[in-house]
Amino acid sequence: RQAQYRRLRNKPSVSRDGVEVSLQLNAGLLIDLPAMAESGARGIGLFRTELQFMVASSFPRMSEQKALYAKVLDTADGKPVTFRTLDIGGDKVLPYLRSIQEENPAMGWRAIRFGVDRPAILRTQIRALLHAAAGRELKMMFPMVADVSEFVQAKGMVERELRHLRRHGHPVPEQLRLGVMLEVPSLLFQLDELFGQVDFVSIGSNDLFQFFFAADRGNTRVANRFDTMNPSFLRALHRISSRAKAAGVPITLCGELAGRPLEAMALIALGYRDLSMSASSLGPVKAMVRSVDVGRLTARFLPKLEAGADRIDLRQVLAEFAGEQ
């Protein structure tokens, strides 16, 4: 099996009817980087920057952060890399940062909330990213945005850092793209405002699913209580992809959902053409992409999702379709 997937490495991720589905890698440490070449990923769709902070014994200095980001970009060698700014707080604890006790850490003081309240930390990270990407493309996205105004605030911080670097004669990125992780359901009702502000959006389906069903992703009693193929959730994902397409905003999905072939197939039917996943999922998902006819898949799946999906097992619809391919 492994050898079979390895053979796919240099084969295009294109469906039988010629639809390209871009497959990227989720990463977070230097040891993840060789997987990019080995798996034939198109780029890094999610670089979780908090991992460097979690394995360190004290706050990584700006120079250390910059060194890591530069190394990632060097290794990517021109392939796109999307850096996600610090997602600490919640279950991602830093032993050297005094944490406050919270009843519901997943819904607590974390990620961008922490970033805008402790601007020195986020500003340092932004500066490290801007330095590391001098003269090349930088894609940066912010986690756990619940209101578009939080992104606007973060964007203001980036612009301020850019001005600072220019004023001091430092080189800056040749191209800068700023995005939002869509992982809090409130954003579903601010899509126009969101698309008006961002260069791209990436769905964090792990958190979006957790908050959508109010089911703690780390609590085994409830984490699997709802199927990821639940029609209400898939309808939400469909709404996002359709609206993004209409607004001309690039959209990616980088949660675990993208790495499971049947779920990834559903995502393709919902209009997703850019998925980011762990290295081990890339081969199986690419094999699936190459085996399906996207036109037929979409024509089969969408009507079932829209009409009376509460009585239809969507998983079975897809499994049957896959069997016919």
Give the residues lining the site for Mg ion (CB under 5 A).
183, 204, 207
Give me the least distance between CB of 90 and Mg ion, in Å please: 9
Interaction between residue 204 and ligand PEP (CB under 6 A): yes
Q: Which of 22, 75, 197, 206 binds ligand PEP (CB under 6 A)?
A: 206
CA 256 – CA 61 distance, rounded (Å) = 31
What mask of x and - would describe binding to ligand PEP in positions 228 to 267, judged by CB under 6 A?
--------------------------xx------------
DSSP lists the bridge partners of residue 181 as 202
Q: Which of 207, 264, 274, 317 binds ligand PEP (CB under 6 A)?
A: 207
Show Cβ contacts of residue 199 under 8 Å, excluding neighbours closer than 6 positions. Answer: 139, 177, 178, 179, 249, 250
CA 158 – CA 198 distance, rounded (Å) = 13
**CA distances to 68, 238, 284 from 261, in Å:** 32, 18, 6
Q: Which of 42, 48, 127, 238 binds ligand PEP (CB under 6 A)?
A: 48
Q: Per CB under 6 A, which region of 13-21, 97-105, 134-142, 202-210 contacts ligand PEP?
A: 202-210
Q: Per CB under 6 A, which region of 66-74, 205-213, 232-240, 305-313 contacts ligand PEP?
A: 205-213
Q: Which CB atom, from 124 or from 205, has the smaller least distance to ligand PEP?
A: 205
Q: Which CB atom, from 76 or from 203, has the smaller least distance to ligand PEP?
A: 203
Give me the least distance between CB of 171 and ligand PEP, in Å please: 31
Question: Residue 64: how many CA atoms within 13 Å on its side-chain side?
Answer: 12
Token digits for 123?
A: 């500003």
CA 242 – CA 272 distance, rounded (Å) = 9
Show Cβ contacts of residue 179 under 8 Å, excluding neighbours closer than 6 positions. Answer: 82, 139, 140, 141, 142, 198, 199, 200, 201, 202
Buried residues in 69-80 as b, exposed as e (16+ CB within 10 A): bbebbebbeeee
Q: How do beta strands 44-48 and 22-27 pair?
A: parallel
Residue appearing with tokens 């309240």: 117
Give me the least distance between CB of 297 and ligand PEP, in Å please: 24
Q: Which of 13, 24, 85, 205 binds ligand PEP (CB under 6 A)?
A: 205
Give me the least distance between CB of 17 and ligand PEP, in Å please: 29
Q: Which CB atom, from 134 or from 222, has the smaller least distance to ligand PEP?
A: 222
Interaction between residue 32 and ligand PEP (CB under 6 A): no
Q: Which CB atom, from 205 or from 281, has the smaller least distance to ligand PEP?
A: 205
CA 11 – CA 248 distance, rounded (Å) = 28
Q: Which of 46, 68, 126, 187 binds ligand PEP (CB under 6 A)?
A: 46
Token digits for 206?
A: 């792990």
Q: Per CB under 6 A, which region of 164-172, 199-207, 283-291, 293-301 contacts ligand PEP?
A: 199-207
Report how many helices (DSSP H) and strands (DSSP E) the chain contains, helices first. Answer: 15, 8
Give me the least distance between CB of 87 and ligand PEP, in Å please: 6
State which of positions 81-100 bind ligand PEP (CB under 6 A): 87
Q: Which CB atom, from 13 or from 205, has the smaller least distance to Mg ion?
A: 205
Residues found near ligand PEP in the complex (CB under 6 A) = 46, 48, 87, 183, 204-207, 254-255
